[in-house]
Amino acid sequence: MKSILKNRKANDWYISLSEKFEANLNGKDISLLKELRANAINQLSGIDFPTLKTEEWKYTNLNKILNTDFKHTSSMRKTELTDEDIDKFRTEEFDHHLLVFVNGVFSDQLSKVSELPENVFIGSLNDGLKLKYEIVKDHLGKIISDKSAFDYLNDSFMIDGSFILIPEEVVLEKPIQVLNISGYKNEVTFSTPRNLICAGKNSQASIIFKYVGIEGSKYFTNSVTEVFVEENAIVDIYKVELENDNSYHIERTDIYQKVNSVFSHYNFSFGGAIVRNNIISKLDAENIECNFNGLYIGKADQHFDNHTFIDHSKPNCNSNELYKGILDDKSHGVFSGKILVDKDAQKTNAYQSNKTILLSKDASIDTKPQLEIYADDVKCSHGATIGHLDETALFYILSRGIPEEKAKSMLITAFAEDVVSKVKIKPFQDKLNHLIFEHLNRVEV
């Protein structure tokens, strides 16, 4: 098959795959998705994929993705997995609802959703369109603006994803885990998950998105997530990216918040050759709180690129952002965080920090914290620090008779603690600490 990404004009991709993609839907297409795809395809016709000359992508070389021949997973046979396989992938030892997607397709057989309060929906986007059509129609594709070619790519080829609806006054006691499993043994594929979360007034929910790969597979995950947080709602989203080390992951997450809402995003990146996260929140009413927390752990020649944007458009809102990186070997990190305070957003409190530890002389980071303020009665700060493990602290620990590798692990633990400790699910905290040391091949403390 002709490469679909080698030529950067996105319309070349669509022309080469459109008929086959539509045929693989087997008449199961849904009019709303078809309409969104048609609009995206029209937009794609004049858009290039980002290059190093594109300001928002200037630190991320995409040639490995653009020069790979991918096949969309809709053209592949169904991957057969068992409950035992799923248990290996999820490994979370706490009670939760589970949605499983294999190469972007919902698996009802492998998913496990307990009895739910009335009108709560936890399932696939396709099923949501059948049962809650008007709600999906009113929200799907309604937040995102300033799209890149990768965003239009998701619009053009989306076939399924998760849909979570928490009605007014409902507090969901158990977390929801959305497990995305990608890859085929003998094919290089790409999938386009599309997620939609709607939290009604005075509702509460915690959602874990986990991305993993079938052993040995090389693939590309291009995901989009939209989150609507209504008045007084509280939503926590945890993302754990554990893609195969030879694979690629790009996700855009857009959040729209209303009055008195609290939204927190926890982003943990461990796997993948190239990983890009775009996280954008619109604070469109008063007394909103928004929290972005991130930790990326790099080894070998991994590349992690985190772009965040918090838009303060109304007064009396708070945002807190803390991103930390631990980079070893020849890994590379990028952090670009922007806080915009509109002229009407008086009494804004906004804090942003990016801190990075380089564990080797070949690891590197490009960091760009940004504040753009048009109001005059605000409290805002931002900053970035880059360094190595504290030599004085290391010397002190070694002087207490502790072996060097364990001493370094203790310092890494202390550095990551600010982010990991914010996680509200204690068993999940423990799992994240384990992943940190497992990924860096360090001794657990």
Q: For the residues 342-349, what does the mean pLDDT come to?
A: 96
DSSP state of 112: B
Q: Across the chain, which distance is largest between two alpha carbons, in Å?
A: 70
Measure the CA angle with vertex 217, ends 178 and 13; round to 5°.
Answer: 85
- State the average pLDDT for the chain: 90
Question: Where would I find the H helices in 211-322?
Answer: none
**Taking a C-beta distance cutoff of 8 angstroms, is the pair 299, 268 a contact?**
no
Quick: pLDDT tens for 356-383.
999 999 999 999 999 999 999 999 999 9
Residue 420 corresponds to which tokens in the numbers above?
């990991």
Quick: pLDDT tens for 92-151.
788 999 999 999 999 999 999 999 999 999 999 999 999 999 999 999 999 988 899 999
Does residue 8 surpass a pLDDT of 50?
Answer: no
**Residue 136 Cα distances to 130, 142, 261, angstroms:** 10, 10, 21
- Which residues lie below 8 Å from residue 144, measured CB to CB, with a gap of 6+? 151, 224, 226, 252, 254
To the nearest 10°, the Cα dihedral for 54, 57, 61, 67?
-70
Q: For the residues 166-188, what does the mean pLDDT come to?
A: 94
Q: Are strands 176-182 and 204-213 parallel, antiparallel or unpaired?
A: parallel
- Which residues lie below 8 Å from residue 402, measured CB to CB, with a gap of 6+? 410
Residue 146 corresponds to which tokens in the numbers above?
């300033």
- Give me the pLDDT at residue 27, please: 47
Quick: pLDDT tens for 196-236.
999 999 999 999 999 999 988 899 999 999 999 999 999 99
- Detail the DSSP E strand segments found in 107-218: 121-124, 162-166, 176-182, 189-191, 194-199, 204-213
Q: For the residues 274-293, what does the mean pLDDT come to?
A: 97
Q: For the residues 310-323, what does the mean pLDDT come to?
A: 98
The confidence band for 428, taking pLDDT boundaries of 50, 70 and 90, is very high
Quick: pLDDT tens for 290-300.
999 999 999 99
Neighbours of 88 (CB within 10 A): 11
- Detail the DSSP E strand segments found in 68-161: 71-72, 97-102, 105-106, 121-124
Residues 271 and 184: their CA atoms lie apart, in Å, by 17
Q: What is the pTM of this model?
A: 0.94
